[in-house]
Amino acid sequence: MIILAVDTTTFAGSVALLENTRLLAEVDINSAKTYSERLLPAVDFVLNTNGLDIKDVDGFALAAGPGSFTGIRIGLSTVKSFSYASGKPIAAVSTLKALAWKLRHPQTHLLCPLLDAKKGEIFAALFESKGGKLKEIVPEGAYLPDRFFSLLPSHRIIFFIGNGVDTYRDKIFEYFKDKARYPSRSQFIAYEVGYLGYDLLKKGKGLNSQEVKPLYFRKSQAEEKN
């Protein structure tokens, strides 16, 4: 199965092409340029590098959020147009779960993906990694930092990842001291989105272009003004 995976939820955007779970090509770009400028060239690159066309893709995997409202909308509309034109399904994957998946481990570990949601909030969750699988311990959502950190077990080692880590490092230390760990991993997640998306697609859990919804976890600024 050829899968095109797209993540536009943060500045660390990426596009990946997979054959099942094997990575064929990936473009990682951390840039302030809009995704309207860089997304389609990245898609063309990963396809052309493998001598493929968009019609050769069997399914799509999309980071559906949370993250930047603008980034999510651009990724969503692009992948939905691909899906609508081709009739191929979309696997919608959580940005937070994809980040946690980068840290998965055969032993039991607690993993905390953390995104800066602005306005003094974070997008976050706590997962337990065991046997190479993830179990959600604290639900994904938008939280006030103190509220979220108070839900985590401060006596256990927790691995943190995401663009919210640097923003809230002092707060993390306040709650977890030497129990906090900061693995050296990139925040590009298109491959992880594709990996998790493949699992959904092979189980027949792909969605059509009309069924895919963004994972915002809170109202956009435009919605709040109405």
The token duo for 41 is: 């060239």
- CA angle 94-25-76, nearest 5°? 35
Residues 78, 28, single domain; the answer is: yes
Domain hosting residue 206, numbered range: 2-95+187-225
The pLDDT of residue 218 is 79
Residues 155, 220, single domain; the answer is: no
Residues 91, 196, single domain; the answer is: yes
The pLDDT of residue 219 is 64
The pLDDT of residue 225 is 46
Residues 123, 54, single domain; the answer is: no
Length of the chain: 226
Residues 154, 200, single domain; the answer is: no
CA distance 29 to 175: 33
- Strands, sheet with 180-181, edge to edge from the N-terminal-most edge strand: 133-143, 121-130, 109-118, 158-161, 180-181
Residues 70, 172, single domain; the answer is: no
Please report, in tens digits, the pLDDT of each residue of the chain (226 residues total).
999 999 999 988 999 999 999 999 999 988 766 777 889 999 999 999 999 999 999 999 999 999 999 999 999 999 999 999 999 999 999 999 999 999 998 888 999 999 999 999 999 999 999 988 999 999 999 999 999 999 999 999 999 999 999 999 999 999 999 999 999 999 999 999 999 999 999 999 999 999 999 999 976 444 444 4
Residues 107, 90, single domain; the answer is: no
Q: Where are the alpha helices (DSSP H) in 87-118?
A: 95-101
**CA dist 46 to 31, 41, 60, 201, 209, Å?**
18, 9, 14, 20, 22
Residues 165, 109, single domain; the answer is: yes
How many of the other CB atoms lie within 10 Å of CB of 85? 11
| Residue 13 bridge partners (DSSP) | 29
CA distance 163 to 174: 18
pTM for the model: 0.94
Residues 203, 138, single domain; the answer is: no
**CA dist 62 to 34, 73, 197, Å?**
18, 11, 8
Residues 47, 127, single domain; the answer is: no
The pLDDT of residue 222 is 43
Residues 74, 9, single domain; the answer is: yes
Residue with tokens 């600024």: 221
Domains of the chain: total? 2
Residue with tokens 């959502």: 141
CATH number of the domain enclosing 70: 3.30.420.40
Residues 177, 193, single domain; the answer is: no
